[in-house]
Amino acid sequence: MGKFDIEMVGKIGSMALIRKEDNDIDYNIFSRLGAELKPGMIWVSSGATEIGRLDYIKRTGRELSGDLDAVKTDYAAQGQAILMQTYRQFIPEAYSVRQVLVEHRHFNEREKREHIKNLLLRCASQGAIPIINYNDAVNAEENRRMELTELRESHHGRVVECIDNDETAAEIAVLMRARILLILTSVHGIYEDPEDPSTLVEKITGRNAAEVLEAIAKMQKACVGASRAGASGARAKLQYVAEPVKAGTTVIIGHAQHKISELVSGKVKRTVIGIGL
């Protein structure tokens, strides 16, 4: 693949996997993804916490209460198994499916980064599809903040937080030298005016990385809001994709209702970001 080691890193957000009106998993989304995922792709999937929450409500008729960090931990632990089971159900039997749970520390230490990279490269060569998620079940927010503070004080380079799976996907795209970073959401891309669907920005580009980064910075000023509490929204997405773009990756942001192939080929609405587009 020349300068690229992996064809694609993809990411889907929690709310894109849910039928919100029914408080249930959107199995059509999983079916559509499963039909197109194949070895050589790396898939970053949010959803464990929200799916765990919905499953707990179904079984008990109520939500958990108490410390929010503990509640999130418990929901994530419950939802991880269901998330992986659902992907396994819809991905062709010919392919292996492997769960990879990552944490911020894995991307801030060279040895751990290399360990993850080699694992993911083996997946491609062994006919396996890795499904990656941040390991919320074992990461208390207070401990994470303390560890990140220590890293910033001792680290001479950029510190990776992975507070959002958009960031996780972007870091993996850089690590794996991916040709494409695909981010699936519950909207069609990046908008100049988030309240006006007609202002979809189809392309953010420039002659070189510096020009693209300048264009990204301008677009960030128009981006507000997020799909749910705790999500970072379009502004953060644009911030996270800056590093992959600098490395030559083409970023595509689009609606999860579309097929991967349609978004990559440009047959449907999307925002594409990269050099020389």
Note the pLDDT of residue 151. Answer: 47
Q: Which residues contact 161 (CB under 8 A, 6 or more apart)?
A: 104, 148, 167
**Average pLDDT value for residue range 241-265:** 95
Q: Are 168 and 132 in contact (CB under 8 A)?
A: yes
Task: Report pLDDT digits (tens) over 93-102.
Answer: 999 999 999 8
Which long-range contacts does 96-99 make (Cβ < 8 Å, 24+ apart)?
96/123, 96/126, 96/127, 96/128, 96/129, 97/128, 97/129, 97/131, 98/123, 98/128, 98/129, 98/130, 98/131, 99/130, 99/131, 99/133
**Average pLDDT value for residue range 214-229:** 70
Tell which residue, 103, 97, 71, has the closest CA to residue 84.
97
**Average pLDDT value for residue range 247-255:** 96
Task: Report pLDDT digits (tens) over 51-84.
Answer: 999 999 999 999 999 988 889 899 999 999 999 9
Among 30-44, 129-143, 257-271, the least confident range: 129-143
**Average pLDDT value for residue range 232-260:** 90
Q: What percent of the chain has pLDDT over 70?
A: 85
Quick one: residue 23, left, alpha or beta (phi over 0 = left, psi -120 to 50 = alpha)?
Answer: left
Does the structure show a pLDDT above 50 at 30?
yes
Q: Are 206 and 212 in contact (CB under 8 A)?
A: yes
Note the pLDDT of residue 148. Answer: 44
Strand 203-206 versus strand 271-275 pairing type = parallel
Q: What percent of the chain has pLDDT over 90?
A: 65
Structural domains of the chain ordered from first start: 6-275 (3.40.1160.10)
Neighbours of 17 (CB within 10 A): 24
Note the pLDDT of residue 154. Answer: 61
